[in-house]
Structure 1
Amino acid sequence: MQSTKPKIESHPVPTQLATRTDLSPQEVKAITEAVNPLIADAFALYVKTKNFHWHLYGSHFRDYHELFDEHADSIFESIDIMAERVRKVGGTTIRSISHIGQLQTIKDDNSSMVPAGDMVQILMEDNGHIAKMIRDAITVCDKNRDSATSNQLQDILDKTERRKWFLYEVAQGAKNTE
């Protein structure tokens, strides 16, 4: 479900936005390049989750509608946390929808209709993809002396895995009732 995008060069941090930190410019760059794609993917997954929330139909409408809304809220909350961490260490973050498109690895879904069971499967896979990316970013943060960002990402990872778990159980329940 995911696509691979080319790595985008980081823009130099304007002097007015260069938050002072004891991290080296190389450490800041590594952290920024690890976290910004997570932010882009969180935006992409948020929109996809809301899309599925809005376009549900069928016998599980109410349950899935509420579940997807809860998940979208959780994803949206993580975006500001990650973006503010990038700024706190002296980096800059997402600037536009096109910037998101350049960095995201979560595939958009522009289908006019997706069956509810497929929605659950797609979201479960996308959350699994993000969980892997978060683990990779945690490793980068730890290697670059940024335990605060690592700790924030660990909390976001836990919430991501919770979403994946819920979606897995929903998918298993649907298989058992067929």
Structure 2
Amino acid sequence: MADTKAALQTPTDLNRNDTKSVADALNSALADSFALYFKTKNFHWHVSGPHFRDYHLLLDDQAAQIYGVTDAIAERVRKTGNVTIRSIGDIARRQTIKDNDAEFVAPGDMLAELRDDNLKLVESFRVVKQAAEDAGDNATSGIVDEWTDQAEERAWFLFEASRKG
């Protein structure tokens, strides 16, 4: 029987102990990304009211952008020689962004909650950035800047879409 741990080893010149902290930060951000993706889709499916079309399309675009980053995050974990999330249960254990299972959420409350959640994801990405810099992981440090910018832009759009007047 093959050594399963050895089967998943990825060649890297980075220190294994350092990359473990980077992988932990990435996996936390990945769990939050999946939680935010699902919440954004939930709100996309359940938004109603006079701005339905605008909000429906905005949330669908944002969900697609969030989902698009998940593979890059998971692959970055693997490139550092570590393992990533394997299940919904694993996501639930790691996520810091709270689910919203309410039967009805007013559109303005949806936008405000998603804005705050995107800013929370920015915080997660900043933890990734610091861990990557501490580990000398230039690739992760560089790529996380784009993810941060995307989350900040989503928060900005949600803020502007929710303004009155």
Moved more, 69-78 or 132-141: 132-141
Amino acid at match of 2:74: A
Counterpart check, 1:66 vs 2:57: yes
Q: CA deviation at 1:171?
A: 1.6
Shift of 1:14: 1.2
- 1:23 deviates by 1.1
Q: What's 1:157 paired with?
A: 148
> C-alpha displacement at 1:151, in angstroms?
1.1
Instruction: Find the residue that maps to 2:12 and give its secondary structure.
Output: coil
> What is the rounded CA distance, in whole Å, between the counterparts of 2:23 and 2:131 in structure 1?
10
Partner of 1:92: 83
Asked whether 1:107 is paired with 2:89, we answer: no
1:40/1:104 contact within 8 Å kept: yes
- Gap regions ≥5 residues in structure 2: none
> What residue identity is the alignment partner of 1:161?
E
Instruction: Give the TM-score of the pair, scaled to structure 1.
Output: 0.89
Which structure 1 segments of 5+ residues have no match? 1-12
Give, in whole Å, the separation in 2 of the partners of 1:90 and 1:99: 19
Contact in 2 for aligned 1:40/1:103 (Cα 8 Å): yes
Could you report, residue by residue, the CA deviation over 1:44-93 in whole angstroms, capped at 9, with x for unpaired residues? Answer: 00000000000011001000000000000010011001100000110100
Deviation at 1:110, TM superposition (A): 0.3
User: In structure 2, what is the equivalent of residue 8 of structure 1?
Assistant: none
Spell out, residue by residue over 1:4-53, the C-alpha distance to the aligned partner (whole angstroms, 9 max, x if none).
xxxxxxxxx81111101111111121111110000000000000000000
- The residue that corresponds to 2:16 in the other structure is 25
Equivalent residue number for residue 6 of structure 1: none
Q: Does residue 1:131 correspond to 2:126, yes or no?
A: no
The answer to whether residue 124 in structure 2 is matched with residue 145 in structure 1 is no
Letter of the structure 2 residue corresponding to residue 78 of structure 1: V
CA distance in 1, matches of 2:37, 2:15: 32
The answer to whether the 8 A contact 1:81-1:152 is kept is no
- Could you tell me the TM-score, scaled by structure 2's length? 0.96
Structure-2 separation of matches of 1:160 and 1:14: 34
- How many residues are matched? 162
CA contact (8 A) 1:50 1:69 kept: yes
